[in-house]
Chains A and B, each alone.
Chain A
């Protein structure tokens, strides 16, 4: 097999495997079996296509081959006495041999997304399974993206499938009160993938743009499958807007550049446009949820041509709403920064006072860092210096420590 054909088949796998697996998972009620059957179909493609040529509709060819195998397997199970109602379903469901109708595939994809992100799985497992089954990534690709060995990742995926089987997770799209909670589980998994790629993990400054792209793609897919949920659009908006800043985030030596100091000419404006469109869709669908609100905050920055044209009062209002919906010390701290910008450092300082006794903030370097900045702007230099030095002690990242010590020194005194 020539290199050209190998690349072609790998590309076709990436495009078609999620749809195959989704359909087969519905037929067999078994994610592991679905993946095996999809892979079998590919093995036959790899065997037959070099001789016969690539079919005009590779997706349809694979779907036919995979379904045939699925029915064979179900028959074999039946012959062996294994009780399956799936066989009956598979045989009487009069699906055409060629590609299923779009709506069917959409339902199957949605079902697969809910199953892959089932709360019975750890967040880690949900992420791995989602990337494998819905992202069309190979185990090796996922392992590389997560800076771990292929063996480790393969085991994680095997365990995840076993957990789903043992928990007898039903293959259906949840309804009623369960639905929103299960949807939140999917959104969380996608945003975890995004952050893994976008934010430097502790001790490791490697940005992985491919994970950012994977997360964006999964988010966009979900937004098409569930077009009427505000938070899905909200998450897509948030990711597009955050990702738009990637070309501006790092200096040549790898040091991070703060949002307010970034060169906005480097921001990806097509991504901003998509993000703002998704945000508008989210707003039309109802009150913004936490992801939507964070996206709206990002949009305020995205809309300002220069940092001094930022609509800080609007950002404060959005943080107020976020603090109501999803309160946390980090949200409160960000709110303090916004208040400081909109209404002056004294007002911002007041907001941080409430956080001084917060246990989760005790080891968090950003609290003294923010206080230091506000005190500096008030001309209270000895206190500012104290805060910056404390922040430097708490900072875990060498670069942050250096920056904070510089700010402490700049207080004079």
Chain B
């Protein structure tokens, strides 16, 4: 199973503050341990929303808005994708992630196509198959 671990943003990150050498080292060691355990699939940081763009879709109309965006706590600053055999395992792995400043991370399992089994209507299943593929 795969899990996305999303790092929520905060005013600090949004202000464009770059991490300190110590923070980078500690986080580097943490990522190295995930890699050594064979579970690190991807990890990246995102630039602050002052450099970002939003596209809003509404009944056929697309609106483009440039950042920065206001609701800081809801923004995403970075992510990991990790492999895990259970949700709890990923929680355990990230319990002591070396965040030096107050931070919030969110752990969410990635959908695999097998997940769209009997709970999905035939129409939804067909659409998903067309867009993303499904087997079994």
Contact = CB atoms under 8 A, between A and B. Distances in A.
A252 B88 contact: no
Given A209-B112, A251-B135, A8 B88 contact: yes
A274 interface: yes
- Interface SS majority for chain A: helix
B133 A11 contact: no
A247 interface: yes
Contact of B38 (A7, A56, A216): A216
B9 interface: no
B89 A252 contact: no
Interface residues of B, number: 28
B36 A106 contact: yes
A220 interface: yes
B92 interface: yes
Interface string B25-52: 0000000000111111110000000000
Interface stretch (B14-22, B56-64, B79-87, B98-106): B79-87
Contact of A270 (B81, B89, B113, B114): B81
Contacts of A249: 135
Q: What is the interface residue range for chain A against chain B?
A: 35 or more
Interface string B65-93: 00000000000000001010110110111
A224 interface: yes
A57 B96 contact: yes
Interface string A106-136: 1000000000000000000000000000000
A340 interface: no
Contacts of A218: 38
A40 interface: no
Contacts of A266: 132-133
Contacts of B23: none
B39 A217 contact: yes
A106 B36 CA distance: 9
Contacts of A14: 85-86, 89
B132 A224 contact: no
Contact of A10 (B38, B39, B88, B112): B88
A217 B41 contact: no
Nearest to A137: B85
B98 to A, nearest CB: 13
A342 B38 CA distance: 37
Contacts of A225: 36
Contacts of A58: 92
A263 interface: yes
A270 B135 contact: no
A8 B92 contact: yes
Contacts of B134: 252
Interface in A307-365: none
A220 B89 contact: no
Contacts of B135: 247, 249-252, 254
Interface of A: 7-8, 10-12, 14-15, 56-58, 106, 209-210, 213, 216-221, 224-225, 247-252, 254, 263, 265-266, 270-271, 274
Question: 7 nearest interchain CB pairs?
Answer: A217-B38, A220-B38, A250-B135, A266-B133, A11-B89, A221-B38, A11-B88
13 contacts: A8-B91, A14-B85, A15-B37, A56-B96, A58-B92, A216-B38, A217-B83, A218-B38, A221-B37, A247-B113, A250-B136, A252-B134, A252-B136
